[in-house]
Structures are given as structure tokens and as C-alpha cells.
Amino acid sequence: MKRRAFITLLGSAAAWPLAVRAQQGAKLPTIGFLGTGTASGWSQWTAAFERRLRELGWIEGRTIAIEYRWAEGRSERFTEIATEFVRLKVDVILTAGGAVLAANEATSVIPIVFAVAADPLGSGFVASLARPGGNVTGLSLQQTDAGSKRLELLREVVPGLRRLAIMGNVGYRGSVLEMSEVQDTAHTLGLAVIRSEIRRAEDIVAAIEALKGHADALYVVGDPLTDANRIRINTLSLGARLPAMYIAKEYVEAGGLISYGPNYPELFRRAAEYVDKILRGAKPGDIPVEQPTKFDLAINLTTAKTLGMTIPPSVLAIADEVIE
């Protein structure tokens, strides 16, 4: 081989990305994907994550491997899955919500990216939003006024709203924080508040049954438990004649009345960019925690009709998604 050609080939090999070089060895770079809900419930979010990875040059099975595990809303599974990922020696863990704590307790070495977390600073996952430090970073929901906006919208679609039920998983710190914030806001608006506390999927039926005739509307705080049981909550709230407000459009697509909150596919798309940076050598502690930039308002007119409600034109006019 001519010397010039050899040097060119050598230079090209040195420039190969980590994933391609690893492909030639024993193991592809591996993402441990700890889903707190179900595979079907997270399908849109997973698809957005994978699509962005492909755009960034990471192709599953060729330049990267993804190990998916699903907790199905059961918090006791978080630690089990995180421990498995440590044993598998994955290169980065991608997760969300309450599972961040379990992953962080399982390892202080493997980088952890959260696609969404309610209060990473208050929970102690990061030292600061600008300089997380440690091995954890991602996208945070803190410092948003989404709760107040949801109450404003709920008052518009339920004009006679006087008694508000707030349902949340009190075993999840983020839910407790949001329940308190929404309760405070509701009181400033002159609304009576009923706290509906759940801890397990088995609590949901009794919780909603207890609200019949005692509440005018239901505010469902999002967490892995309510996410995994969104269809059950929708069915029961309809049966109880309770207009319900949710945190994400996926709840409305599953039969809920109305939602306002961050666009979750977009959050998972951005989480893929964090993973990309880490796999290319960036330290998670040096990557700032960011906030959502895209919010969606979704309305299900079929559900509204079932409840005998008419959604005001002013609300329909600003909706990002209307399901008929």
C-alpha cells in the first residue's frame, strides 16, 4: 500500500465515532431505558427518542444498543431495573420522574439522563440547574406555571366550578409538590378543594367513587402511577360525571377531557440530544438542566359530548389538538 493512501486510511479510522469503533469490538454503546409506565403508553415518546437518535447518527442494532425495561407504574420496580442496568454496565441510563432517584441510588458513575423530572433541584438530583455536577442531568418541569394555567382552563370549560378534586400519588414527591401548589392556587380562586390521595393502582377506583356528588371537576396530577393507569382513570371519571384535567395530551388521546402541559415527545427528543452528547464524551455534570419550551392544549370533544358539555369557542381556538 502506498504511504499516502495508508496515512489517509489511518486518519479516517481515527475519526470514526465511538459507536462505529465499538461495533467492531465486543459491545455496542448501550442505553438502559428505564420506562416508568408501559411500552404502549410510552410508544409516542419512545418513537421520538429513537427518531432523534437516528438523526444524530445512532442506529439501534448497528451503532448502538437500547435495553428497554418497563416498570408499569410500580415504583418498587425502579430499583430492580436500575440495579440490573448497573449489572449490565450500560453506558447511560435514560429515565423519568420517580425512577431518577432509584437510578441515582443505584449508581454514582453511570451517566443518568431524565427526560422529565418535577423537581430535580429540590430532590437533590442536581447541585444546580446550570451546573448539575455529579452524574445526572436532563429536562425539568420546575419553575413552570402549568398548574395555574390548567386551573384557568378548567374554570373556562366548567363555568360552575366550585369544588375541585385533586388526585395524586402521595408516594411520589413530585405529585405531593404539585398537589400543594394547585391547592394553594385553587384557594386563591375561591375554590373548595378535596384532596384525593392514592398510592397504588388498587386505590384508584375507591378514590374516584368517593368523589361522586362531592366535586365539580377533577385535576389529575401526573406521575408514573397515573400515567400507567390513564385509561382506567378516564373511564372512572366519565362514570362519575367528572370533567378531568390532565398534564399531557396522551391522556386526552386515551379518552380524557382536557390537558395542558409540556409536549412529551419533544422532551424525549431533546433527551436523545443529552444522550448523544454523553456518548460523545461530555460529562453529565457539565450539561445544564433545561426547561420545556413547547406546551400543548388538547381537548376531546367526544368526551365533552358524553359529559353533556360544550367547550367554549375561545378555548377551542387556542387548542393544539382537538379530538372529535
State residue 13's pLDDT score.
Answer: 40
Per DSSP, 287 falls in state: S
Residue 173 has pLDDT above 90, yes or no: no
Tens digit of each residue's pLDDT (9 = 90 or more) over 76-116? 999 999 999 999 999 999 999 889 999 999 999 999 999 99
State residue 224's pLDDT score.
Answer: 87
Q: DSSP strand E in the chain: where?
A: 30-35, 65-70, 92-95, 112-117, 136-140, 163-169, 192-198, 217-220, 244-246, 258-262, 295-300, 321-323
Q: What does pLDDT average to over the chain?
A: 90
* Nearest alpha carbon to residue 44 among 200, 248, 201: 248
pTM score of the predicted model: 0.84
> Mind listing the domains of the chain with CATH numbers?
3-142+264-293 (3.40.50.2300), 146-262+296-323 (3.40.50.2300)
pLDDT (mean) for 250-263? 95
CA distance 107 to 95: 14
Tens digit of each residue's pLDDT (9 = 90 or more) over 30-83? 999 999 999 998 999 999 999 999 999 999 999 999 999 999 989 899 999 999
Phi, psi of 319 (to 5 degrees): -70, 140
State residue 123's pLDDT score.
Answer: 83
* Rg, C-alpha atoms of the chain: 22
Give the whole-number percent of the chain exceeding pLDDT 70: 91
State residue 122's pLDDT score.
Answer: 83
CA distance 109 to 136: 10
Cell of 306: 358524553
CA distance 272 to 53: 6
Tens digit of each residue's pLDDT (9 = 90 or more) over 275-305? 999 999 999 999 999 999 999 999 999 999 9
pLDDT band for 143, please (50, 70, 90 cuts): low
With contact defined as beta carbons under 8 Å apart, do 244 and 220 qualify? yes
* Nearest alpha carbon to residue 45 among 273, 226, 269, 224: 269
Classified as helix, coil or strand, 226 is: helix
